[in-house]
Structure 1
Amino acid sequence: MLKIDVLTIFPEFFTEVFDFGIIRRAKLAEIVEINIHDIRKFTTDKHRVVDDRPFGGGDGMILKCEPIFAAIENLVGKREDYSDGTKVILLSPQGRVFKQSAAKEFAENAKHIVLICGRYEGVDERVNEALVTDEISIGDYVLSGGEPAAIVLVDAITRLLPQALGSETSAENDSFSDGLLDCPHYTRPADFRGMLVPEVLLNGNHAEIEKWRKEKALEKTRLNREDLLK
């Protein structure tokens, strides 16, 4: 059975969404187990704060790393402790585009999938650097958060699991907009478990910050979406 855990700050978004059709049948048949987790429950302050302003300035808020680290480590341990078949997926516009081949890969090889739903301007990059095995986007557009993307992945992967469609050949006949990706983002604390925010974002020199961001955006685009540079 494939286990899927979804991390979100809006657990209500998923109320009943997985209680219909193929996913419901797969759950009842114990082909897949789906759990929704509220990231706020992994905070340690009385106000359950999950976001903060970005280092270096800029619009929007960034999801903090502490509660996400706590949630992931509670579910699957630290990165070096991940068991075979564990996939921690960050849902982000900066990720590689999700395609049918990726859905097939996860359905065939994953035993435990954790989906991190981004929000606001993004997620502190240290989550990506230290915890994430795959950074996934569902297309070249921006949503208010990763929750719709999580639903897409759960649906696409679940229907490819053995027996989920009732026929082994049902999925075999399935069919299948410019610019750079965003740069990495960081927020408080500046030092988390020895992982430091790049010094350039702390020095207040906006010209240097802008230059760094452009360089990192190009680097991430080359890494994840080289086709955008052609």
Structure 2
Amino acid sequence: MRKLKGFFLSGLCLTISLLCATSGLSQEITTSERDYKVRPVRLGIKLGFPNVAGGNLEYVTPLLNDRLSATLDYSIIKSDWILAEEEPDNTDNTSMDFSYFEIGLNYYLFKSGKGLYTGIGYNNFSFEGETSVESNGRDGTGFVDYKHGSLHVKLGAKLGGLFYFRPEIGYSFSSLPETISYIADYEDGTSETETFDLVEELAVPDIFFKGLMANIGIGFAF
């Protein structure tokens, strides 16, 4: 499981926003303050924590003068994409997959469909796989199946038009655990509950285990 350090550190990241079918693909907004085209469909990528790296989809609805949008983020990282065979005799059987899902609503504070926004939503991530373990001279295999979900709030900004840049920070009400428990089966027929320390093994700063969310994203609006 130490090999997960590489892909976790590659991440401050991001996502996918939910397509909410309530209006056409482009909306022309004209007020006394501005005259610009709202591009309601946004498709991009995000890098950050806890999403690591993934896709983002957003749809700006016509509600509240085109200021309310629905979003969807999705990340999936398969272990065979990032874990190279380091043991020539195949003694290391680490196989760990990560997935992240987030759905929510954003409200644009000052302009229709652009600029500063606040958001609320729900996120869920999971680890699934197995890894080689050793304890008291015994070799075995640890099986991990862990899921964690939480409500969260966010503050972000959509900057740009056709091509945009999007920074976000947020807070999860149910913070990530610093350790994950899993079952280890040993060759002598015994089984034990072991603990994986995320802070120590992944070298992730403690602040990320106190509810902090942060990511940056880029994409195109249509």
Question: Please, what TM-score do these two structures have when normalized by structure 2?
Answer: 0.24
Structure number with higher strand proportion: 2
**Structure with greater helix share of residues:** 1
Taking structure 1 as the reference length, the TM-score comes to: 0.23
Name the larger-Rg structure: 2
